[in-house]
């Protein structure tokens, strides 16, 4: 409450700049717009730029949007920002957006919290395009009908009618995991899969099935769990309680599930990796926080966001989006090792 209400020095407009430079408002707009190099003499342009800088002129975005009908704003639809992967996707997208004077506004689809508001009720009018994760399926239905350019992240390229797709080489990642474990000598696997049924997890499952199926004496069981530590632990405890030869490796759809699997192992008196190897997926911060550290697949999350935003910009300008999947990389750490000698 120092001097709460100054007369509030009104932000300078292009007209103020024009007055200061002794030209018309249109000239200011021409100069600062940077187009039509031949329309204004370099001397005048220089003067206008100086005055603009001196006054601290910033174009009014609302007016610009109104005039142009475009807002230079994209919507990023993700399941939840508390998921580190999507926080990183946002970071990447925002970085590329900033380079092109674009803004990114988020719609984390409500996971129970908050009222079931239409995310586009207010936003739809102010967006140039949408980047959406396939994992935010509930929000995707709301997208239907919006006539906006759409870039899909990690979704079935054949499934949706998006203007562009940005995908990770998930299948390759899962193959790397399998090769690693098979190379170590593992033959009896459990696939600890995500309970949610999106493309990215379907790809994991299929790649794993194929890789294991190609080895004659290898076998695999699948259990499903929601994406949290406790569920991963409980599912693993169940899986290990099944009669028959104990599996020697658990392949998890996600680091969070892997952390749960490790906890289950410890509870059952099994050592990781001596008695049980565990692999994760994503390489979250979690992966190096637990003991032992997780062997996992590193995903270039920021790049997903960057490519997504770049693709949207391309679509908006009528250019083709850069094709091709993003490479992923197996990181071998302490949670995997050769299986114990057969009992």
Q: Which residues bind DNA (CB under 7 A)?
A: 10-11, 13-15, 23-27, 29-30, 32-33, 35, 38-41, 43-44, 57, 59-60, 63-64, 66-69
124: which 2 tokens?
Answer: 């739809």
How many other CB atoms are found less than 10 A from the CB of residue 189? 24
Residues 93, 145, 322: CA angle, nearest 5 degrees: 35
Burial 212-228 (b: 16+ CB within 10 A, else e): beeeeebebeebbbebe
The least CB distance from residue 3 to DNA, in Å, is: 23
The entry of its own copies, DNA, none that residue 41 binds, CB within 5 to 8 Å by partner kind: DNA
How far apart are the C-alpha atoms of 289 and 140, rounded to whole Å? 34
DSSP state of 325: P
The entry of its own copies, DNA, none that residue 236 binds, CB within 5 to 8 Å by partner kind: none
Q: Does 58 sit near its own copies (CB under 8 A)?
A: yes
Closer to DNA by Cβ: residue 14 or 176: 14
Q: Applying CB under 8 A, which part among 38-46, 100-108, 151-159, 171-179 lies near its own copies? A: 100-108
The entry of its own copies, DNA, none that residue 244 binds, CB within 5 to 8 Å by partner kind: none
Single out the residue of 177, 290, 304, 310 in contact with its own copies (rule: CB under 8 A). 290
Is residue 165 within 8 A of residue 326, CB to CB? The reply is no
Return the SS3 of 29. Answer: helix
70: which 2 tokens?
Answer: 């475009």
Closer to its own copies by Cβ: residue 111 or 245: 111
Please give the radius of gyration of the chain, using alpha carbons only, rounded to the nearest integer: 26
The entry of its own copies, DNA, none that residue 156 binds, CB within 5 to 8 Å by partner kind: none
Q: Does 75 sit near its own copies (CB under 8 A)?
A: no
Q: Does 41 sit near its own copies (CB under 8 A)?
A: no
The entry of its own copies, DNA, none that residue 13 binds, CB within 5 to 8 Å by partner kind: DNA
Strand partners, 255: none
Q: Does 185 sit near its own copies (CB under 8 A)?
A: no
Q: Does 247 sit near its own copies (CB under 8 A)?
A: no
Q: Applying CB under 8 A, which part among 4-12, 38-46, 192-200, 273-281 lies near its own copies? A: 4-12
Is residue 167 within 8 A of residue 308, CB to CB? The reply is no
Q: Which helix (H) or strand (E) holds 133?
A: strand 129-133
Q: Does 100 sit near its own copies (CB under 8 A)?
A: no
The entry of its own copies, DNA, none that residue 181 binds, CB within 5 to 8 Å by partner kind: none
The residue whose two tokens read 């302490």 is: 334
Is residue 314 within 8 A of residue 164, CB to CB? The reply is yes
List C-alpha distances in Å: 269 to 183, 232, 274, 294, 335. 25, 17, 11, 18, 15
Contacting residues toward its own copies, per CB under 8 A: 2, 4, 6, 8-9, 11, 58-63, 65-66, 71, 80-82, 84, 87-88, 90-91, 94-95, 98-99, 101, 103-106, 108, 113-115, 117, 121-126, 147, 161, 163, 229-230, 256, 259-260, 262-263, 266, 285-286, 288-291, 302
């Amino acid at each position: 409450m120092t001097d709460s209400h100054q007369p509030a020095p009104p932000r300078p407009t292009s007209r103020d700049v024009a007055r200061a430079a002794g030209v018309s408002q249109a000239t200011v707009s021409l100069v600062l717009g940077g187009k039509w190099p031949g329309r204004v003499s370099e001397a005048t342009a220089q003067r206008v730029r100086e005055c603009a800088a001196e006054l601290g002129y910033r174009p009014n975005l609302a007016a610009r949007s109104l005039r142009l009908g475009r807002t230079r704003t994209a919507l990023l639809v993700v399941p939840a920002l508390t998921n580190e992967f999507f926080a990183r996707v946002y970071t990447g997208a925002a970085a590329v957006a900033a380079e092109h004077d674009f803004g990114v506004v988020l719609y984390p689809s409500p996971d129970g919290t908050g009222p079931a508001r239409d995310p586009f009720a207010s936003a739809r009018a102010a967006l140039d395009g949408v980047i959406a994760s396939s994992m935010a399926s509930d929000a995707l239905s709301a997208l239907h009908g919006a006539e906006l350019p759409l870039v899909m992240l990690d979704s079935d390229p054949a499934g949706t009618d998006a203007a562009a797709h940005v995908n990770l080489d998930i299948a390759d990642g899962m193959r790397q995991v399998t090769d690693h474990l098979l190379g170590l000598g593992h033959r009896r696997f459990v696939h600890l899969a995500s309970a949610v049924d999106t493309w990215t997890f379907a790809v994991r499952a299929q790649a794993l099935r194929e890789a294991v199926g190609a080895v004659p004496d290898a076998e695999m069981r699948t259990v499903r769990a929601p994406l949290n530590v406790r569920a991963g632990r409980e599912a693993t405890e169940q899986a290990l309680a099944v009669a028959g030869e104990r599996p020697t490796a658990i392949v998890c759809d996600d680091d969070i599930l892997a952390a749960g699997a490790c906890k289950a192992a410890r509870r059952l008196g099994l050592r990781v990796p001596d008695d049980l190897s565990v692999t994760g997926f994503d390489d979250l911060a979690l992966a190096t926080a637990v003991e032992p550290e997780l062997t996992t697949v590193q995903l270039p999350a920021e790049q997903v966001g960057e490519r997504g935003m770049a693709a949207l910009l391309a679509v908006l300008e009528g250019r083709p989006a850069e094709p091709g999947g993003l490479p992923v990389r197996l990181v071998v750490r302490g949670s995997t090792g050769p299986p114990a000698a057969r009992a």
